[in-house]
Amino acid sequence: MLKGRVALVTGAARGIGFAIARRLAEAGAAVVVNDVDPAATEAAVAELAGLGVGAVGCPADVTAPDTPDRLVAAAVDAFGTLDVVVNNAGYGTYAPVLEMSDAKWTPMLDTLLTAPFRILRAAGPLLTRPADHVRKVVTVSSVAGVAGSPGSASYAAAKAGVHGLTATLAKEWGRYGVTVNAVAPGLIRTRLTEGRADGVETIDVGGRRTELVDIPLQKLESHIPVGRIGTPEDVAGAVYLLCSPDADYITGQTLVVSGGWLP
């Protein structure tokens, strides 16, 4: 259903981002793969190309000032246009508010809110051009941005800001044939939520150290109405829905993808 479309997905080399890129590629879209890790980006591009669709990589830190223009240029240079933007790149830092330094606060807003804003500002001239189909924007938020999350004020605040940006752009760009939505995953099994393994408490994300979260997944699983922890593919399916023609009349919404659970 996306044959002939060109999609940009940030943070797309692993986890939720790669699952999204793969789902869009399976539907026929050409994909620009962005990730902060060049080697992982190259591997993701190779796997997507194996599906028989166009795929190019643009390794870059989404917070770098020149990244938005680079991402748009990568799409235009490779495929001539851009139809879908999925802002997914992100990571987390954790501390109670009274212990949260500016060094933990500011990077979250830069990565999770300012970077998507800048990317959409750069992509806007392409997305809002006249076309014979509806163009799509989806930003990955979190249930933390919907319901809050103790110890995650910077993360939750940035994700909540995504909802305001989404609702505003939906109103500004609807007249141009662009839908703008967000998805808010709940508990999803990724390398950032599997907890601390072998005594390792942090991992490197583009030169930044981010904490592995000690989330008691098995304990919380019993509180999820559908009875299981989510997968990256669950999130990818929701993103695909919003990127498909079936969602051409859905805009300005945040779709919670949590199996019915909220913190």
Q: Provide the annotated active-site residues.
A: 155
Return all residues near 152 (Cβ < 8 A) that are at least 6 apart.
Answer: 92, 94, 144
Helices assigned H by DSSP within 6-150: 15-26, 38-49, 67-79, 102-109, 115-127, 143-147
Q: How far apart are CA 262 and CA 256, in angstroms?
A: 9
Q: What's the full length of the chain, in residues?
A: 263
The Cα–Cα gap between 25 and 105 comes to 35
Angle between helices 232-243 and 15-26 (to 10 degrees): 50
From CA 143, how far away is CA 109, in angstroms rounded?
16
Between the CA of residue 115 and those of 109, 145, 148, 179, 184, what are the distances in Å?
Answer: 8, 17, 21, 19, 18
User: Look-up: residue for tokens 């050409």?
Assistant: 30
Rounded Cα distance between 191 and 203, Å, is: 9
Angle at 179 between CA 3 and CA 19, to 5 degrees: 55
